[in-house]
Chain A
């Protein structure tokens, strides 16, 4: 690819970096991979080295958890440099086969999972009166399901839980249906800037066909893209935990059943560190009868990433060291937690794997807050 002079310096404000090392110092994946993000910020100042740096496999170790950005005293986003390098690889077509499969499926099917667009509503099988919107139809909340929740049989139940919660609270909401598309978040994390821009345009156009007040997402990853990365999306975007907290506060949602469990909340990076939504999920948990909450030592801004984001669902690190999710599960075990609560499909999947890997299946479970809400209804 042709690299314009000073591309990275300007795009990522590299000269603002004082090389203090707080980014790498806090980077969670350094315990299991050689990634040194400070070094990349330093090296990418030199345009002539960009090509070589983009070939460094370490750029794929980043989970884009935002820890480096939150710690940077100069307000930079060091991990974005790694996404810039990934973008060079994507433009050259030189990606891992697993990433190619996911990206081609996004292009062909509008989702990264190789599933037909026409099967996007399969999660709703058996639900009567599913509120799929007609074009131009008026509604308060437009619900964006997202690909993993729509297609992964393990995550699909959470969408049904969410629909049940919204129905119980009498929320005026609607769905797009089979035409709903990937938000583009994971395309961008895999380096596909062009494809992300395509989803930005397509979805903005798609949303404009409906008359709604706010866009609510199930996944923090879609939430973040719609809220912070779309160029022309001029509507309020909420994560479902924000909406549910509001419903509880307004007394619209009543949780009557006891859910006796010691619960620790794992902050999803894209909800917490990236968008500073820390209180709503905890507020919801506090409202569920019978739930006894505890906190990780590393929580909120210091929360440990589960390694599910940043395109890592499709690109493995070579590291043999235990995954961060296993560390997280071990920490929860030490706290005596019976339930690790999450509010993100990727977190749920990585933590479920880690519970199995640690052999804690008998003692603890991972549950999305939606599952707990459903039990409490």
Chain B
């Protein structure tokens, strides 16, 4: 097969983890792995990436200081046309999704998005994706082409240890024209203290199983550690332990986090209807017959007041 080109992703001066995940995946697929780093003053990133790639191609230009899809697409199009990689991997992220479809259409290349697995069948990648909210999977087969473009879901493959020492090569910016139709202006942080649980990626949600509000600090510690927001069942909001805008359920908010960690929530129909968009539901409840276990992907049948402190310790260990 041809070489694999992986687009590095960074934001606000930080290399994003998805870059290393994609490079790890590319390494597993075989072939030469080239990382393309578009940025401005990104030598640190280049040396980190070099541990995961056979080659790091760096285009250092103020044009790439922040993500601009049009500038990125222009550069990628030139490089793909020149180097003709067999496969281009881009994160299925806020940046990558903005880029994959239009880049592939411009170059008339087969593409797909949000791959959760990629394998090679001969020279051709075959992709697994999720459909219907993850209820079923589907296999994608591409039309024959020289190059395939794939958007890969974050955390589809865990980042490995690296162990390569790729050559870092600075190349000239292939984009000569000024990009005017779209301009990056600034980043605006989500307002702090003004949590909108419908938009939260991670939710730690509490029910009556916490028994008393004096147990809330333990939950807050867990949430802070995980970078999660806190929500609750109607009973907890009624008790005044959490503000009304944190209520999940039919008379509260419908949430769609990547993780919904239900602590001491029995899972009344009126509650679980509100968590239907969640990717992963984990329930901790001491009642093995609690209906929440019918909706959860993973469950722990135990007292949350015993499990949560242990979980805090274990996550701290995991994070090192």
Which residues of A pack against B, CB within 8 Å?
Answer: 98, 101-102, 113-114, 151-154, 312-316, 318, 320, 322-323, 349, 353, 356-357
B208, B240, B244, B270: residue with the most chain A Cβ atoms closer than 10 Å: B270
* Shortest beta-carbon contacts, A-B, top 4: A316-B251, A152-B269, A320-B240, A98-B251
Contact B270–A313 (Cβ < 8 Å): yes
In the assembled complex, 27 residue pairs joining A and B whose CB atoms fall closer than 8 Å, in A order, are: A98-B251, A101-B250, A102-B250, A113-B250, A113-B269, A113-B273, A114-B273, A114-B276, A151-B269, A152-B270, A153-B269, A153-B291, A154-B269, A313-B270, A316-B244, A316-B247, A316-B252, A320-B240, A323-B238, A349-B268, A349-B270, A353-B234, A353-B238, A356-B208, A357-B208, A357-B238, A357-B239
> Counting CB contacts under 8 A, is B254 at the interface?
yes
Contact A357–B235 (Cβ < 8 Å): yes
Contact B235–A356 (Cβ < 8 Å): yes
C-alpha gap A349/B268 in the complex (Å): 10
Residues of B within 8 A of A349 (CB): 268, 270
Residues of A within 8 A of B251 (CB): 98, 312-316
Residues of B within 8 A of A98 (CB): 250-252
C-alpha gap A151/B250 in the complex (Å): 14
C-alpha gap A312/B270 in the complex (Å): 13
Least CB separation from A98: chain B residue: B251
Least CB separation from B234: chain A residue: A353
Interface string of B170-208 (1 = CB under 8 A from A): 000000000000000000000000000000000000001
Least CB separation from A322: chain B residue: B238
Residues of A within 8 A of B268 (CB): 154, 349, 353
Residues of B within 8 A of A316 (CB): 244, 247, 251-252
Residues of B within 8 A of A113 (CB): 250, 269, 273
Residues of B212-244 at the interface with A, using a CB-CB cut-off of 8 Å, are 234-235, 238-240, 244
Q: How far is the CB of A21 from chain B (nearest CB, A)?
A: 30
Q: How far is the CB of A189 from chain B (nearest CB, A)?
A: 14
C-alpha gap A356/B270 in the complex (Å): 15
Q: How far is the CB of A208 from chain B (nearest CB, A)?
A: 32
Interface size counted on chain B using CB atoms at 8 A: 18
C-alpha gap A316/B247 in the complex (Å): 10
Residues of B within 8 A of A353 (CB): 234-235, 238, 268
Least CB separation from B276: chain A residue: A114
Residues of B within 8 A of A356 (CB): 208, 235
Residues of B124-158 at the interface with A, using a CB-CB cut-off of 8 Å, are none
Q: How far is the CB of A120 from chain B (nearest CB, A)?
A: 15
Residues of B within 8 A of A323 (CB): 238
Residues of A within 8 A of B238 (CB): 322-323, 353, 357
C-alpha gap A117/B172 in the complex (Å): 61
Least CB separation from A320: chain B residue: B240
B254, B269, B273, B291: residue with the most chain A Cβ atoms closer than 10 Å: B269
Residues of A within 8 A of B252 (CB): 98, 316
Least CB separation from A114: chain B residue: B273
Least CB separation from A349: chain B residue: B270
Residues of A within 8 A of B270 (CB): 152, 313, 349
C-alpha gap A114/B274 in the complex (Å): 11
C-alpha gap A19/B247 in the complex (Å): 38
Q: How far is the CB of A241 from chain B (nearest CB, A)?
A: 24
Least CB separation from B237: chain A residue: A316
Partner of A318, one of B235, B239, B244, B254: B244
C-alpha gap A353/B250 in the complex (Å): 14
C-alpha gap A349/B271 in the complex (Å): 12
Q: How far is the CB of A329 from chain B (nearest CB, A)?
A: 13
Q: How far is the CB of B283 from chain A (nearest CB, A)?
A: 16
Least CB separation from A151: chain B residue: B269
Residues of A within 8 A of B273 (CB): 113-114
C-alpha gap A323/B240 in the complex (Å): 12
Residues of B within 8 A of A101 (CB): 250, 254
C-alpha gap A316/B233 in the complex (Å): 13
C-alpha gap A218/B46 in the complex (Å): 69
C-alpha gap A179/B269 in the complex (Å): 22
Contact B235–A313 (Cβ < 8 Å): no
Interface string of B265-297 (1 = CB under 8 A from A): 000111001001000000000000001000000
C-alpha gap A151/B240 in the complex (Å): 30
Least CB separation from A102: chain B residue: B250
C-alpha gap A357/B254 in the complex (Å): 22
Q: How far is the CB of A145 from chain B (nearest CB, A)?
A: 16
List 12 additional contacts besides A98-B250, A102-B250, A152-B270; criterion CB under 8 Å: A98-B252, A113-B250, A114-B276, A153-B269, A154-B268, A313-B251, A316-B247, A318-B244, A322-B238, A349-B268, A353-B268, A356-B208
C-alpha gap A314/B249 in the complex (Å): 9
Residues of A within 8 A of B239 (CB): 357
Residues of B within 8 A of A314 (CB): 250-251
Q: How far is the CB of B246 from chain A (nearest CB, A)?
A: 12
C-alpha gap A320/B238 in the complex (Å): 7
C-alpha gap A318/B238 in the complex (Å): 10
Residues of B within 8 A of A154 (CB): 268-269
C-alpha gap A257/B182 in the complex (Å): 77
C-alpha gap A334/B252 in the complex (Å): 32
Residues of A within 8 A of B269 (CB): 113, 151-154
Q: How far is the CB of A178 from chain B (nearest CB, A)?
A: 19
B235, B239, B247, B251: residue with the most chain A Cβ atoms closer than 10 Å: B251
Q: How far is the CB of B184 from chain A (nearest CB, A)?
A: 32
C-alpha gap A174/B250 in the complex (Å): 31
C-alpha gap A177/B251 in the complex (Å): 28
C-alpha gap A102/B279 in the complex (Å): 23
Least CB separation from B294: chain A residue: A153
C-alpha gap A357/B208 in the complex (Å): 8
